[in-house]
Amino acid sequence: MKQILSLLAGVIFGIGLTLSGMTDPSRVRGFLDLFGNWDPTLAFVMGGAIPVMAVAWLVQARMSKPAADTAFFLPGTKQLDGKLAIGAVLFGVGWGLAGLCPGPAIVSLATATSITSVGTFVLAMIVGMLLHRMVEDRL
């Protein structure tokens, strides 16, 4: 049952990403082009997500456990450190260059007309995650 709910949540999330335009790299790059032909569409998507997430945090705070699992899996720290800053910079640079981030990229594998560029991005993303894991294990 847990896997079915996870799949359903992922499908709903993917539909939302597609309908909002988050899977369109040109729209994302237009949003990031503050001094050129700026496209504010994604600002409204993000603005709409903030109240939804605020309600989710309030609901989660009142629950002892999630409906489909034994515990919540929340970040263990709220510390801002160098690793977080470097990760944020890498994420931002990748998002700006490719116009994709991990969630929309995976959704785009199923919906993109240019599967080569999206596939290359997803492959690079997976290689980056594996390299990170190898480096972390050695440190």
pLDDT in tens, 65-94: 998 889 998 888 788 888 889 889 988 888
Q: Tell me which residue range forms the domain holding 13.
A: 2-138
- How long a stretch of residues is the chain? 139
Domain count of the chain? 1
Residues 6+ apart with CB under 8 A from 23: 17, 100, 104, 107, 108, 111, 112
pLDDT at 113: 64
Span between the terminal Cα atoms of the chain, in Å: 37
pTM for the whole structure: 0.73
Residues 6+ apart with CB under 8 A from 41: 20, 21, 27, 30, 31
Using alpha carbons, select from 129, 125, 119, 111 the residue that is nearest to residue 14. Answer: 111
121: its two tokens: 């991005």
